[in-house]
Structure 1
Amino acid sequence: MNAIVKSPADLHPYARVVGQESPRRSPQDAIPCVIGRDLQLNPDVLGRYCFKEISARVEDLIIIAGVIAFADRAVARKLSISWLRHIDVTIPVLEPDFWRQPHITDELRNLLNLLTGDAWSLHFSIKSARLEVHGPRPLSLSSNEQPIVMPYSDGMDSFAMSRLLANENPDVPLLMVTAGSRLDADKERRENRLDGRRVRLAVPFQISQQRGVRLREPSYRTRALIYGVMGAVAAQLSGASRIMVSESGQGALGPWLVPVGNEALDIRMHPAYTSQLAHFLNMVLGIQIAYEHPRLWSTKGQTLRELADRGLAEDWHETRSCARDARHMSYLGTRLQCGVCAACLLRRMSIHSAGLDESLDDYMWKHLDAGGLDDAVIDPTRVATKGDRGHAVCGALAMAQLAELADPSQSAYVHAKAQELARIGGESVDLTQVRLAGLIRQHADEWNEFVERQGDSSYLAQFSGGMR
């Protein structure tokens, strides 16, 4: 029922990944994922979630998310053929009979196919040993209010959303699920001003690159599954029912509105994905949680402007938005953001739109008024690679193409997209279309004004001729 059937002529990547409790010999044609070696769990970190005892079902869910994330990273795409991969995964679980139920397996497989754009096949083996969770050490929340959970990337959107939530709901605890390794821009305010009402909970595992297994696939869309699952675990253990998605409209809807090349639609922050994720997790955990998108109809610039107007924007420059590997963006001992990928351009445009001090940010390609990357770089020894130029071109195109949807000639396309969103959100098509068109128009205004500020000779200008 759940096996992948491939014809001999099918050239799409295929891989079999087998989750194992020990480094015993795995099938010859399989990539092993050994728990404790390839998937390294941190009992101390997991113990921080222990508002109450972690059940076998929750433990299974964490292992499932980790093994799937490993498989997603380990199996490289062949973009010259297509985006699609066939991935066959076996996962050790404590409750195999539950996970083998067709409606459970099918729901998870459909969720993964939607998220990553691949064809997944799922199998479940018997896991013999439970995780040794240190604790439990129940978190002390200085409020009797029901907590809110939020996946927290340490980027600008999550930084802004957490401060707006604290301002609007001063007595409500916020549990922030984080990677645990990034700069903590909000530490001072959280620890000294919020009296324990903001708690960071790190993802309790990491994927290792030991044994020479190269994690070659950079798309890594299952990162959204990890944060979604751990958010639901935090909610289930703390009694929360609301999980906030902090992404502003461009980040949540932009990749869905203007997809890149032959990529499958990127809906990691889209209500289409979060609603299906909530349905799956509610079914598995026996709870009622909902993922909410409070900034869906706002641009990042509008969110930052609201933050500044409320006097809450201090330390915004300590956040990071860049999609590039920070290890490759260093100058004079300082790690920079690249400044030209789609995430950086959206950040820079939004900072400008919100009236924040742009000089507080440093970028490798800082001078956007230059005619090309070679003149925009601050490191005189840095020669732009093919990858650098690709990120810059794709970033500018992503911003420009989303802005172009404000043109009246695109109204039929926008209406069709509004219909899709309305079905998901349960709102009228007319209301959704007004909101979607307003978001696109606001983005276009912010982008065109930002490009004009760089001058007609800037390399950005060539990507925005249609709307200026």
Structure 2
Amino acid sequence: MKPLASLAVDVLDAGSRPRAGRTPCHIGTNLTFTTELLESYCLREWEPIIYDALIVMGAVEFCDRIFRRPVQHWGREIELRIPVHEPERWNASEVSRALHDALCFVTGDRWSLSFIARRTPFTLPKQVPIPIASDIDAVIPFSDGLDSCAVAGLMHKQMGDRMMRVRLGTKRFCSPESTEKQPFTSIPYKVKRTNSKFVESSARSRGFKFAMVSGLAAYLVQANRIIVPESGQGALGPALVPVGQTYEDYRNHPMFMSRMEKVLFALYGRRICYAFPRIWYTKGETLDSFVKECCDGPAWATTWSCWQPNYQVSVEHKKRQCGVCAACQLRRMSVHAAGLSERPDTYVWENLKASSFNEGAAGGFTHVLKAQYQYAIAGTLHLAELSALQEDQMNNGTIKLAASQLAKALSLTESEAGARLARLLSQHKREWNGFLDALGESSFIVKWTRRS
């Protein structure tokens, strides 16, 4: 067997040097912290585990993004050494086993992490403890996405102030004009590469990062539950129907989160579980429930689903969502299923009824990229293959295995998991076919599905 492509990285605090043959990752240069935002994680008093956990997240992301995956196979071998305040805590066998299991599972890589003592302890320049209620039952990771908005609204209706939001990303969700300090307003660090751009975009380590951030927040507010806002297609679809020959995407899957529960217990000594209130529903069903049940239902229209960068999806210097990647097509299908509509200028590809890909783009969009065409085809075929999964008896084994794995991860019987998965796939098929019918036979999207 051909050996895996390998990378060795030493994370360095002030005054440290990398070992021979190791790539340096400098704290303060490659991993930078925002003091004000870091304070939002200091709810009562400073704990070294807060900083150490954030350093581990950033170091893993750095390794994942600087190391391009090989063309012929997916996996890589990554060795990472990190300075922390409590190396004995991180090197403990229970933590090490759980951490390696979760990281290897979610990324498809082979990781080897070790921890050494920091040369000097990190001290927070100032600290203003943030008062929080003592009856927080759950935290929910919160982003600009449609599922995030809808599920946060639905769960807030049930739980009120017993649920706390944890921001994923560097953009704050609180008002910058507000003088009241709020917890977890943004992830307080950024990852940068020295003198060049990151080369790997698969970003499987983001699942680890977001699970760790929400786990740290749950530990700090003494909550015993983390609400995962993904609906069924987003949580299960990427593992059921992987793209091409890539490793299955488990970033929002219960099988990964069950591994992260073991990491949190080993690291913090507390039982914290990940809950999936909308995993057996489509995004369209979740959106429909949010609009009908929540007073802030119109907020869904301000959410963002597309992941493409500004320079690729701007029309006349105004950023739009692309409208054709897998995430955008799932969004548009879900909006249609919920009986809602959006302004055409929400997307670069305003008209999915157009007979050709280029004709569907906005008039002011002049630089159609080959990559966008490929993303659009991949997104279309992913949603189409997921809708056809139950039609081919050859997929029965895949579906049965998925149901068995979900049953174990979610403490269900296999028959319960199988029935719920079958209903989800059937509903996705109805919504997808309804979306295609609305586009019409001349649509380039519909033509692509017919060719497959």
Q: Give TM-score scaled by structure 2 length.
A: 0.93
Matching residue within 68, 72, 78 for 2:64: 72
**Aligned-pair CA distance for 1:99:** 2.3
- The 8 Å contact of residues 147 and 231 in structure 2, kept in 1 or not, is answered as yes
Q: Quote how far apart the aligned CAs of 1:354 are.
A: 0.9
Other-structure match for 2:434: 449
Question: Structure 1 counterpart of 2:350, which letter?
Answer: K
The structure 2 residue matched to 1:156, chosen from 140, 146, 150, is: 146
Which amino acid in the other structure matches residue 327 of structure 1?
Y
Q: Does 1:255 align with 2:221?
A: no
Alignment partner, residue 347 of structure 2: 363
Counterpart residue number, 2:9? 17
Measured after TM superposition, the shift of residue 351 of structure 1 is 0.8
CA deviation after TM superposition for structure 1 residue 397, in Å: 0.6
In the alignment, is residue 83 of structure 1 matched against residue 74 of structure 2? yes
Is the contact between residue 43 and residue 132 of structure 1 (CA under 8 Å) also seen in structure 2?
Answer: no
Q: Within 2, Cα distance between the matches of 1:17 and 1:76?
A: 14
- Give SS of 2:185's match: strand
Aligned ranges for residues 122-141 of structure 1 at < 5 Å? 122-141=113-132
Q: What is the root-mean-square deviation in Å for CA atoms of aligned residues? A: 2.3
After superposition, residues 18-417 of structure 1 pair within 5 angstroms as 18-22=10-14, 24-78=16-70, 80-141=71-132, 143-181=133-171, 184=173, 200-209=184-193, 211-310=194-293, 311-359=295-343, 362-407=346-391, 409=393, 410-417=395-402
What is the letter of the counterpart of residue 439 of structure 2?
Answer: Q
**CA deviation profile, 1:59-102 (whole Å, cap 9, x unmatched):** 32221111111111111111x21111111111111222232233
**Within 2, Cα distance between the matches of 1:266 and 1:437?**
20
SS of alignment partner, residue 131 of structure 1: coil
The answer to whether the 8 Å contact 2:315/2:365 transfers is: no
Whether the 8 Å contact between 1:366 and 1:377 is mirrored in structure 2 is: yes
Distance 1:132 1:43 in 2: 10
- Residue 115 of structure 2 aligns to a residue in which SS? strand
For residue 4 of structure 1, what is the aligned residue in structure 2? Answer: none
Alpha-carbon distance between aligned partners in 1 of 2:301 and 2:169, rounded to the nearest angstrom: 19
| Conserved 8 A contact 2:130-2:182 | no
Q: Go from structure 1 to structure 2 and tell me whether the alpha carbon gap of 1:317 and 1:200 turns closer, same or farther (over 3 Å shift).
A: farther
Q: What is the aligned counterpart of 1:464 among 433, 449, 452? A: 449
Q: Is contact 2:32-2:191 (8 Å) kept?
A: yes
Shift of 1:408: 6.0
Pick which of 57-66 and 13-22 moved more: 57-66
Between the two proteins, the alignment pairs up a number of residues equal to 448
The alignment-based identity, stated in percent, is: 32
In 1, distance between residues paired with 2:329 and 2:443? 14
Q: Go from structure 1 to structure 2 and tell me whether the alpha carbon gap of 1:26 and 1:198 turns closer, same or farther (over 3 Å shift).
A: closer
> Do the aligned residues in 2 keep the contact of 1:174 with 1:197 (CA within 8 Å)?
no
Deviates more, 1:351-360 or 1:159-168: 351-360
The Cα of 1:134 is off from its aligned counterpart by 4.3
**Corresponding position: 1:436 with 2:421:** yes
Task: Compute the displacement of 1:327 (Å).
Answer: 3.1
Deviations along 1:77-129, one digit per CA (max 9) or x if unpaired, are 11x21111111111111222232233322221121110100111112222122
Q: Which amino acid aligns with 2:322?
A: C
432-441 vs 16-25, which moves further:
16-25
Task: Supply the distance in 2 between the matched residues of 1:16 and 1:46 (Cα, whole angstroms).
Answer: 28
Q: Is the 8 A contact 1:172 1:197 kept in 2?
A: no
Name the aligned partner's letter for residue 160 of structure 2: P
Greater shift in the superposed pair: 319-328 or 30-39: 319-328
- The one-letter amino acid paired with 1:108 is L
SS at match of 2:139: strand
Query: What are structure 1's unaligned runs of at least 5 residues?
Result: 1-6
Aligned-pair distance for 1:241? 1.2
Q: Give 1:152 shift.
A: 1.2
Answer yes or no: is the 8 Å Cα contact 1:65–1:225 preserved in 2: yes
Q: Say if 1:363 and 1:45 are closer, same or farther in 2 by CA, change over 3 A.
A: same
Question: Whole-Å Cα distance in 2 between the matches of residues 106 and 446 of structure 1?
Answer: 42
**Cα distance between partner residues in 1 of 2:26 and 2:250:** 30
**What is the rounded CA distance, in whole Å, between the counterparts of 1:371 and 1:154 in structure 2?**
32
Is the alpha carbon distance of 1:435 and 1:68 closer, same or farther for their aligned partners in structure 2, counting shifts above 3 Å? same
Secondary structure of 1:315's partner? Answer: helix
Contact 1:149 1:243 (8 Å CA) reproduced: yes
Paired residue type of 2:144: D
SS at match of 1:112: helix
Distance (Å, rounded) in 1 between the aligned partners of 2:19 and 2:256? 33
Q: Which secondary structure does the structure 2 equivalent of 1:394 belong to?
A: helix
Any stretches of 5+ residues in structure 2 without a counterpart? Answer: none
CA contact (8 A) 1:149 1:177 kept: no
TM, length-normalised to structure 1: 0.90
Which shifted more, 446-455 or 214-223? Answer: 214-223
Q: Distance in 2 between matches of 1:85 and 1:412?
A: 29
Shift of 1:47: 1.0
Residue 408 of structure 2 corresponds to 423
Distance 2:175 2:354 in 1: 36
- Three-state SS of the structure 2 residue aligned to 1:358 is coil
Letter of the 2:108 counterpart: G
* Cα gap change, 1:58 to 1:199, in 2 (>3 Å): closer
- Residue pair 1:15, 1:75 contacting (<8 A) in 2 also: yes
Which whole-Å deviations, capped at 9, do the CAs of 1:11-61 have from their partners, x for residues lacking one? x42111110003654234221100111000122211112222232233322
